[in-house]
Amino acid sequence: MLQLSPAPAWGRRLWGACARVAALASLTATVVVAPIGASAQAPDLSTPATPSEAADTPATRQAKAFLDAATSGDQARFLKFVADNAAGARIPMDVWRRVGAIFANLRLHAVLSATPTKAEMLVYDGVFETWLGLWITVEDHPPYGITDLGSREAKRPADVAAPPKLAPPELAAATKAKAGALVAADAFSGAILIARGGKPIFVAPFGLADRAAKTPVTLATQFRFGSMGKMFTAVAIVQLAEAGRIDLKAPIGRYLADYPNAEIASKVTIENLLTHTGGTGDIFGPEFTAHRETLRDAKDYVALFGSRAPEFPPGTKRAYSNYGFMLLGRIVEVVSGMTYDDYLARRIFAPARMTATGMRPESDRLPGRAVGYTRSEGGWKDAADTLPWRGTPAGGGYSTVGDMLAFANALQGGRVLSAAGLQKLATGGITGPDGTFFRYDFTDETPEGRRFWGHGGGAPGMNGMLMIFPESRYTVVVFANRDPPVAQALANYIADRLP
């Protein structure tokens, strides 16, 4: 989900490596932009739904004006609009520049609901052929300035035909054509792999790994994977639980005896961290920016953020927490007696035969690691000045599409977890006081409700997605050295067409 909120929350919500960063892909407008490489099956939305008179509120009028500016093709116009109408959201202009570029290919399908201060709309992204729900809130008095907005993936409406299911040769051809069109539009560079039964049926590199040196992406190119690294942390925790060294229901203070905040130490369980229900907060914001180059391992993050109290009673709701996974990584270190990197190398990467995956610092020269590019006022720029020092238990390492398939195969082949351990990881979770079941952060579902194992990740200059569909035995991996949501949107495009 994309959510833009008053600073400093914008940083952690927009670029906090959320699994569903693909929601950034769209938010629409009445100005129709011709889709890039749209397939013949794309729905005909040339005549958007007409909002009812009841939906004509200050919020819907402001939302349409916002989207009209975003999709006008004139970024100066869009930036002037947000400067004049969205100052209350307190979102930095460099973030708006990225947002404007992402919002440029959208179409309004319908107004779902409206009040004077909030409008929700269903929109369609013609580039990635995906549906999203957009919401926007405004002040309750003139000039009704925008105070917040966000989007989430949405189901295809019932009156629009589903994309066709494609056999492997047709799926490969469609994927190649879609990715190629995005490369031609300078909207994608990266690598894609589709496997069936553990064996690739399509794998290809696209675009440039280094724009300045004109170095092409290859299948050996290492891409930063953002929050996809949370998969490795979750596997490590379940491995230690299987070995009887961790009780998933125990409070974290049992393993982090000197944890600074007593309430978190005594009330937040390991399962709370695995499900993002601990109220442990995030890491991105002014403190991270100020200490970015000195935050070098999990204990550094605990030293900086460990005194914070929980943001809500643990177990009562879910709020995505990168810091929670930092705590899990620190627990792995304390319990195993190894550094986090050494644990992954010995217990996950080696048995999975992953030879190109790691967490080494950005200061280490890795010839195969792609340069990450983020949108700026002058176009694409190197995103190095936004990166953490190194990969962490919350994400940020690097890998290849081939290594991610090796990880998927090792999971399903019993080489990193037993069958019971994998079942626990895939189905485990906790039930909240209101009966809501919160799953471990290892499974998700496509907008159409197709459940998979895996994770996405994204931040400036990096985006990736791994989807493992155990029933159909398909695996989808997409990496990009570009801003979200391009890799995750391409993964969804493929998933929608899987048999």
Asked if the structure places residue 194 within a domain, the reply is no
- Regarding whether 414 and 290 lie in a shared domain, the answer is yes
Q: At residue 6, does pLDDT exceed 60?
A: no
Asked if the structure places residue 191 within a domain, the reply is no
For the purposes of burial, counting CB atoms within 10 Å of the CB of 450, is it exposed (0-12), middle (13-18) or buried (19 or more)? middle
Among 153, 174, 209, identify where a domain stops: 153
Q: At residue 311, does pLDDT exceed 90?
A: yes
- Regarding whether 229 and 149 lie in a shared domain, the answer is no
Asked if the structure places residue 9 within a domain, the reply is yes
Q: What is the pLDDT of residue 286?
A: 82
- Regarding whether 148 and 7 lie in a shared domain, the answer is yes
Q: What is the pLDDT of residue 448?
A: 80
Strand-pairing partners, residue 204, are 192
What is the average per-residue pLDDT within 376-387? Answer: 83
Asked if the structure places residue 163 within a domain, the reply is no
Q: At residue 256, does pLDDT exceed 90?
A: yes
For the purposes of burial, counting CB atoms within 10 Å of the CB of 83, is it exposed (0-12), middle (13-18) or buried (19 or more)? exposed
Q: What is the pLDDT of residue 130?
A: 83
Alpha helices, DSSP H only, in 345-434? 350-352, 401-412, 419-427
CATH number at residue 361: 3.40.710.10
CATH number at residue 54: 3.10.450
Q: At residue 342, does pLDDT exceed 90?
A: yes
Residues with Cβ < 8 Å from 290, sequence gap 6 or more? none
Domain count of the fold of the chain: 2
Q: At residue 42, does pLDDT exceed 50?
A: no
Among 134, 153, 172, identify where a domain stops: 153
Asked if the structure places residue 289 within a domain, the reply is yes
Among 131, 153, 175, identify where a domain stops: 153
- pLDDT tens column, 18-36: 333 333 322 222 222 222 3
Asked if the structure places residue 135 within a domain, the reply is yes
Q: What is the pLDDT of residue 363?
A: 83
Residues with Cβ < 8 Å from 439, sequence gap 6 or more? 275, 427, 428, 429
- Regarding whether 33 and 136 lie in a shared domain, the answer is yes
- Regarding whether 104 and 242 lie in a shared domain, the answer is no
Please answer whether residues 72 and 54 qualify as being in contact, where contact means their C-beta atoms are separated by less than 8 angstroms.
Answer: no
Q: What is the pLDDT of residue 443?
A: 93
Q: State percent of the chain over pLDDT 90.
A: 65
- Regarding whether 250 and 333 lie in a shared domain, the answer is yes
- Regarding whether 366 and 264 lie in a shared domain, the answer is yes
- Regarding whether 432 and 283 lie in a shared domain, the answer is yes
Asked if the structure places residue 147 within a domain, the reply is yes
- pLDDT tens column, 194-240: 999 999 999 999 999 999 999 999 999 999 999 999 999 999 999 99
- Regarding whether 398 and 310 lie in a shared domain, the answer is yes
- Regarding whether 234 and 149 lie in a shared domain, the answer is no
Give the chain's largest Cα–Cα span. 65
Q: What is the pLDDT of residue 90?
A: 81
- pLDDT tens column, 166-205: 999 999 999 999 999 999 999 999 999 999 999 999 999 9
pLDDT band at residue 373, thresholds of 50, 70 and 90?
Answer: very high
- pLDDT tens column, 43-63: 444 444 444 444 789 999 999
- Regarding whether 404 and 272 lie in a shared domain, the answer is yes
Asked if the structure places residue 199 within a domain, the reply is no
- Regarding whether 397 and 265 lie in a shared domain, the answer is yes
Range of the domain at 10: 2-153
Q: What is the pLDDT of residue 40?
A: 32
